[in-house]
Structure 1
């Protein structure tokens, strides 16, 4: 199983799990700006329960990685335009009288969780990521051949169980990332997209929970 130290040190491994932004809300609710997509540096610091300077230091050291994953720093006319567009439908949420504004997407917040060492919240997020990565690596959802399992005396999963595994895999690896990309780039229908993504993530969790429950039942029957 991949350990936490490797996740902290390996950019390649961090990039491989950046689509799993749902783990943020499983650990702690992440408050968003009125646009429903971004957070400020101060909000990132609040989420991880660290000083804002800690986040700024990570931004300085890993700026290229964070920007490649969606971090935006607005200045001048871009900043004024962004605030005017989003403040028109909200009573607040954006820091005023600033020369620049860093906008963090959920992907970049997750990126920080994999860089931030001194935060109990970040450690919990990494623990979720590692557990999920372990399940993906050890679950044979992509193998259509079950002959070897029969020869080894292992119970063959039912057709319904295999279908549930496949649907959960596709939702987690394909559909949710598509929603994330749409939410990141679309200025319209954000709330609808976020609601749809939440529904898909809920369905994925239910399928995985059902699969785990079936496995436990099969284990009990084997013992009996």
Structure 2
């Protein structure tokens, strides 16, 4: 569980496993375009049994990482040449891109498998990768191998804990953001009301002084009349 969570969150761990493209066919046969190298977005979605929109969201969020594993979008003359040389050989119907065609080599498809959360096929690919990696580490012999395995295990666990902690922190911040905003607004209102009350207190004090002075002025003639 920790290892899979770390794989989903850590680009460095995904990079370390990106060459194990054989995991794709071990889980499910990957149908390629006639060039034997690439698949389209629709074919990736079909492989992972999800909608194209799900794959497109992965592209938007992790485009740089996918491009480092060979993902690219053909346009213009490159697109026309690919359509003529490759897509025209595709059996049955094939995509008819107008402005651009996204192409995934096997490494980029494996990259998607290590990013796609809501796909049973992607989870099976990740499980195969992690199980294979665990077997490889277990087969390592000698103090140096054991030390390296322990170090990797600790790194995976640390990344998983950081990822889980970060996710919880982000969720709490998002949940309490409206409350914090309301408290800030309430504090501002209270400050303004306090200013108003202080101003009223000063004004009332001035009025009290004026009344006292007025009483003194009114009372003075009365005392003078009584003496007469």
Give the TM-score category using the shorter length: 0.5 to 0.7
| Pairwise CA distance, 1:95 | 1.1
How far apart, in 1, do the equivalents of 2:69 and 2:123 lie?
20
Q: Report the counterpart of residue 100 of structure 1 in structure 2.
A: 100
**Is 2:38 the counterpart of 1:38?**
yes
Alignment of 1:3-82 (within 5 A): 3-82=3-82
* Counterpart position of 1:123: 123
**Bigger fraction of residues in helix:** 2
Name the SS of the counterpart of 2:110 in structure 1.
Answer: helix
Structure 2 CA distance for partners of 1:13 and 1:79, relative to 1, 3 Å: same
Q: Aligned in 2, Cα 1:40/1:141: closer, same or farther, shift over 3 Å?
A: farther
SS of 2:38 mapped into structure 1: coil
**Contact kept in structure 1, 2:33 and 2:86, CA below 8 Å:** no
Identify unmatched segments of 5+ residues in structure 2. Answer: 145-228
Deviation (angstroms), 1:76: 1.1
Q: Which residue of 2 aligns with 1:138?
A: 138
Normalised by the length of structure 2, the TM-score is 0.59
Between the aligned partners of 2:141 and 2:25, the Cα distance in structure 1 is 26
Q: Which whole-Å CA distance do the structure 2 matches of 1:88 and 1:56 have between them?
A: 24
Query: C-alpha distance in 2, partners of 1:55/1:90?
Result: 22
Map of 2:153 onto structure 1: none
Aligned residues: 145
Q: CA separation in 2, counterparts of 1:106 and 1:20?
A: 9
- Post-superposition Cα deviations, 1:39-96, rounded to whole Å, max 9, x if no partner, equal 0000000000111000000000000000011001001111001111224655556411
Relative contact order (alpha carbons < 8 A, sep ≥ 6): 1 or 2 greater? 2
CA distance in 2, matches of 1:101, 1:92: 18
Q: CA deviation at 1:18?
A: 0.8
Alignment deviations for residues 76-124 of structure 1 (CA, whole Å, 9 cap, x no partner): 1110011112246555564114211000001000000000000000000
Superposed CA RMSD in Å reads 2.3
TM-score (norm 1): 0.60
User: Take 1:62 and 1:88, find their aligned partners in 2: how far apart are those partners?
Assistant: 30
Instruction: Structure 1: give runs of 5+ residues left out of the alignment.
Output: 145-224
